[in-house]
Amino acid sequence: MTPEISSLAKKFQIKAGMSLLVLNAPGDFPAMLAPLPAGVTVATSGSGPFDAVHCFARNSTELERYAPAALAALKPDGMLWFAYPKGTSGIPTDLSRDNGWDAATVHGWEGIRQIAVDDVWSAVRFRPNAQRGSDELLEKHFAGPRAALRPVYDRLIGALSALGDDVTVGVRDSYVAFARRKQFAVFKSRARPVQAELGLRLPDVAASPRLAPAGKSFGSESATHVVVLTLPEDIDHEVLEWLRRAYEDVG
C-alpha cells in the first residue's frame, strides 16, 4: 500500500528523502505538511544546503530580510517557494502574484507557478531566470580580482562543448551549473584566494589530493568532488577525463 501523503506536500512537490528549510512560517505550517513522504526532514534554521526552501513573507520588507538566507541555503537546482498573504487574508501586504519580488528577481530568479497553501497564504515557486542568466549575471562571476578566472571559465566551456551538444548551462547568482539529463558539474569563482572551483558529480570515484571531497555548499546531488583551478592550463588531461566521466554518468 502506498503511504498516505498530504495534499499540501503533493502541491509543493515534496519527494521522499528531501531536506526542507522553512523560514518565517506560521507555527502550524509543519503540521499542515503532514503526513510527508518517507525520510523527509524539516528544519527551521541552518545553512544547508537543502533540497527545498519554503519562505514566508507578509510584505516586501520581510522578503528582503529573509530572501538572502533562503537563496544561500538552497542546493543547486533546489526548489524555492515564497509564500505571501492572500488579498482576502486581512493581512496588509504589497506582495502579489506578479509584484513585489525584487528581493528575488534581482538575483536572477522568477516566479513560475502559484499554489494555494490555505485560506491565508498563497505560495509562488521561483526558478533561475534563464534569459537574465546570460551576459549580465555571468559577468558578476568575474568582477574585480576574479577577472583573472575568465580564461579558466572559457576553457571549461570549450571542453564541455567538445563533449556534446546536449550540455545546458545555467548561470546562477553564485555559481554556474552544467547539466545533461541531470546536473553533473558546477563552476564557482572565489576572490579570497582568487581561484575557481569545479564541482563534479563522480559518486564512484575515490578522492585524491587533487580531486577533493566537495563541501556542503555544492550539495551531494550536484557535486561529490571538487577541483581547484587557477589557470586555463589546470584543465589538463586528468581534469578533462573527470569531466567526461561526470558527463557520461548522467547520460
* Residue 233, domain CATH: 3.90.1150
Q: Are residues 68 and 109 in the same domain?
A: yes
Instruction: With respect to residue 20, please indicate whether it lies within any of the assigned structural domains.
Output: yes
Q: Are residues 103 and 139 in the same domain?
A: no
Instruction: With respect to residue 1, please indicate whether it lies within any of the assigned structural domains.
Output: no
Which one, of 243, 231, 251, 244, lies nearest residue 152 by Cα? 231
Q: Are residues 145 and 124 in the same domain?
A: no
Q: What is the pLDDT along the chain (251 residues), one digit of tens a residue?
A: 456 889 999 999 999 999 999 999 998 898 999 999 999 999 999 877 899 999 999 999 999 999 989 998 988 778 999 999 999 999 999 999 888 998 888 777 888 889 999 999 999 999 877 545 467 788 899 999 999 999 999 999 999 988 987 888 888 888 888 888 788 999 999 999 999 999 999 999 999 999 999 987 776 557 999 999 999 999 999 999 999 999 999 87
Question: Grid coordinates representing 180?
Answer: 545533461
Per the structure, the complete domain to which residue 239 belongs is given by 135-249
Q: Are residues 116 and 152 in the same domain?
A: no
Q: Are residues 149 and 49 in the same domain?
A: no
